[in-house]
């Protein structure tokens, strides 16, 4: 007994040492990843505060040279703001439409007693694996007469099948007793949905609000295909200044817009997202988990 414990002890110390070394190495790896992830953002921020002259001299770094806020004053005075306003409008309208229609689909899909689901579920899921090509989607939107209208920006991406599946999984996790109690209290099916299921679904609604609003906020592609200049969201305007004025799509870059202006516009566009996403992290991690758990 005494021998065996004496034998065991040195082994344990060895393992602890190995483990401690691992913890230190792991810490350093994580630190490295954090720095590599944040560096590009800090670099943009730094450039946006760098003076025009320093940019022309090619002096750039993580600390702004000739610190000033002139770039911000310049950008916020120009057309940037009107595109920013478009983005806000599209994001709000689009997110509301997306949330409502997705919930309208996901809630009935979550009800196993609904016989029609046997056909509905494959009908919806199939679109995740096969669909229209780039061209047939374009032809459809143009064919519907939506070109140069705001719905052309919103409708093609309004319902995301993947997000509907996440919502459905959440609705399925709501205890049946609660909904049945609501019916006994005289609520209709619709009443149960509005008065009982939705109030219990704050985590998934928060998650979907974030996901959908980020989707609309970031989209440039639909704007590029369908919208006229006045209707552009900021993401597409940004793309045009990154590319450079006068350059055609896919031509590579013209350098007519200086790096501090580009950086400033990028910082302003990304700022709302950076402020919002950590706040509801708890919810979307949970939401993603639900979708990943096998039924």
29 is a site residue for another protein (CB under 8 A)? yes
Distance separating alpha carbons of residues 153 and 94, to the nearest angstrom: 9
Restricted to residues 59-88, the positions that interact with another protein (CB under 8 A) are 60-62
197-232 exposure pattern, b = at least 16 Cβ within 10 A, e = fewer: bbebbebbbbbbbbbbbbbbbbbbebbebbbeeebb
Instruction: Extract the tokens encoding 244.
Output: 């450079």
Which helix (H) or strand (E) covers residue 267, if one does? helix 259-276
Distance separating alpha carbons of residues 7 and 4, to the nearest angstrom: 5
Site string for another protein, 174-193 (x = CB under 8 A): --------------xxx--x
Stretch that binds another protein, among 71-79, 88-96, 199-207, 270-278 (CB under 8 A): 270-278
Distance separating alpha carbons of residues 45 and 64, to the nearest angstrom: 8
36 is a site residue for another protein (CB under 8 A)? yes
Shortest CB 265 distance to another protein, Å: 9
Among 127, 148, 173, 256, contact with another protein (rule: CB under 8 A) = 127
**Nearest-5° angle of CA 191, CA 197, CA 202?**
135
**Which residue, among 74, 225, 75, has the nearest Cα to 155 in the 3D structure?**
225
34 is a site residue for another protein (CB under 8 A)? yes
Shortest CB 98 distance to another protein, Å: 11
Stretch that binds another protein, among 27-35, 76-84, 167-175, 195-203 (CB under 8 A): 27-35
Restricted to residues 236-255, the positions that interact with another protein (CB under 8 A) are 236, 238-239, 242, 249-253
Restricted to residues 132-171, the positions that interact with another protein (CB under 8 A) are 132-140, 143-144, 155-156, 158-159
């Amino acid at each position: 007994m005494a021998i065996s414990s004496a034998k065991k002890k040195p082994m344990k110390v060895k393992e602890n040492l190995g483990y401690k070394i691992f913890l230190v190495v792991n810490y350093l790896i994580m630190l490295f990843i954090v720095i590599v992830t944040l560096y590009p953002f800090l670099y943009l921020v730094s450039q946006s505060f760098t003076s025009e002259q320093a940019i022309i001299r090619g002096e750039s770094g993580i600390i702004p040279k000739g610190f000033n806020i002139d770039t911000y004053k310049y950008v916020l005075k120009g057309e940037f703001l009107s595109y920013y306003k478009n983005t806000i409008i599209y994001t709000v309208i689009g997110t509301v439409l997306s949330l409502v229609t997705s919930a309208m689909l996901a809630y009935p899909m979550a009800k196993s007693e609904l016989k029609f689901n046997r056909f509905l579920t494959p009908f919806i899921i199939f679109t995740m694996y096969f669909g229209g090509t780039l061209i047939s989607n374009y032809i459809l939107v143009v064919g519907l007469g939506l070109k140069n209208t705001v719905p052309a920006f919103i409708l093609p991406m309004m319902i995301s099948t993947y997000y509907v599946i996440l919502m459905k999984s959440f609705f399925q996790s709501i205890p049946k007793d609660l909904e049945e109690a609501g019916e006994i209290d005289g609520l209709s099916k619709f009443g149960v949905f509005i008065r009982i299921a939705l109030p219990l679904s704050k985590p998934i609604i928060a998650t979907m609000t974030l996901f959908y609003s980020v989707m609309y906020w970031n989209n440039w592609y639909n704007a590029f295909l369908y919208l006229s200049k006045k209707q552009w969201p900021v993401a597409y305007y940004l793309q045009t200044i990154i590319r450079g004025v006068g350059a055609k799509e896919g031509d590579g870059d013209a350098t007519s817009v200086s790096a501090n202006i580009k950086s400033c516009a990028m910082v302003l566009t990304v700022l709302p997202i950076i402020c919002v996403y950590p706040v509801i992290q708890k919810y979307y991690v949970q939401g993603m988990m639900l979708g990943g758990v096998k039924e």
